[in-house]
Amino acid sequence: MALHEEMRAFLDSAPEGEVDFHDFTVPEVRTAVDGWMEVALEGPEVAEVKDIGVPGPGGTTIRARLYHPRPEQALPLLVFVVGGGFVANSLEVEDTPVRRIAATAQVAVLAVECRSAPEHPFPLPNEDAAAALAWAVDHAAELGADPGRIGVGGHSSGGALAVGAAVGLARTRPGRLRALAVITPSLDADFDTPSYRRYAHGYALTRVNAKWFWTQYLGERLTDPPVEATPARAPLVDGLPPALFQLAEFDVLHDEALTLAGRLREAGVPVTVSRGEGLMHGFFYMDRVSAAAAAANRGFAERIGGLLRAAD
């Protein structure tokens, strides 16, 4: 189908048109990513929102934020790795959509901000995601959550980090997670898939800018990406939880997510895929400007809640 009219109108309203991040400094790109906060505006009220410092690798502290809709009740817990192209990972930018997940799914959400490239390239963000997930599993009760109902998810580049963390945890503690939930995840450094060619220009995330993000993350290793950085092609392990993929039809990242979903199915993992017809990358922030985006985001959150509450 065609791109939803509201999204086309949003793209057409951008005064600067399509930009090439090669013309910008890293701080300027981060400022551009921060602009999504203006699109999202404020999210719903959540009863408890508090910042948490999670112990990270080598004595570092990982920024995290707990959203708990009902602090008096031990709700399921979703560890959600925020996105930003590996370069602009930000709790603030993703505050509104994360609030919506917590409020709609009625689960506690621990949003995690991994360190950003190029200052902190691969594998440092991956190590942060793995450490935050392991810590949350061990400390769920302290977060007011149910230790038996924990999932992990992420948006865009955060989706890649979330999948990697899930695979790592399944390797050491199989069956510990109830759900893996990713939205428009960035899972491979192959810029020649059909969706990369079809949607290279004109749909928010361009092929050129996606490659720029990956270059900051991997540097010279982009020519031979480590499988640990590219979950679409990384070896899978037993013990992975049921997976939920929320995609966008008009997104360069669309096909690599389908690839991973197919591989998970072949490995016997229950997988639900929503193709996001008529949507483009960035719709995660666009409830205010697009009814279609709002419906997709609401459905994603509802399905997360369903997975985390599923009977044993």
Evaluate if residue 17 carries a pLDDT over 80: no
- Taking the C-alpha atoms of residue 307 and residue 304, their distance in angstroms, rounded to an integer, is 5
Residue 42 confidence class, pLDDT cut points 50, 70, 90:
confident
Evaluate if residue 102 carries a pLDDT over 70: yes
**Residue 234 or residue 157, greater confidence:** 157
Average confidence (pLDDT) over 202-226: 97
Domains and CATH numbers, the chain: 5-309 (3.40.50.1820)
* Whether the Cβ atoms of residue 177 and residue 148 lie closer than 8 Å to each other: no
Cis? peptide before 57, omega within 30° of 0: no
- Averaged pLDDT of the chain: 96
- Taking the C-alpha atoms of residue 1 and residue 83, their distance in angstroms, rounded to an integer, is 27
Residue 113 confidence class, pLDDT cut points 50, 70, 90:
very high
- What is the predicted pLDDT for the residue at 189? 97
Average confidence (pLDDT) over 28-38: 93
Six-digit token string for 13: 């309203």
- The catalytic site residues sit at 156, 251, 281
Evaluate if residue 74 carries a pLDDT over 60: yes
* Residue where the block lists tokens 């709700």: 75
pLDDT tens by residue, 241-295: 999 999 999 999 999 999 999 999 999 999 999 999 999 999 999 999 999 999 9
Report DSSP letters for 46-95, one per residue.
Answer: -SEEEEEEEE-GGG-EEEEEEEES-TTS-EEEEEEE--STTT---TTTTH
Six-digit token string for 65: 């934020």
Three-state DSSP at 16 gives: coil
Evaluate if residue 84 carries a pLDDT over 70: yes
pLDDT tens by residue, 116-138: 999 999 999 999 999 999 999 99
Average confidence (pLDDT) over 62-77: 98
Its pTM stands at 0.97
Residue 201 confidence class, pLDDT cut points 50, 70, 90:
very high
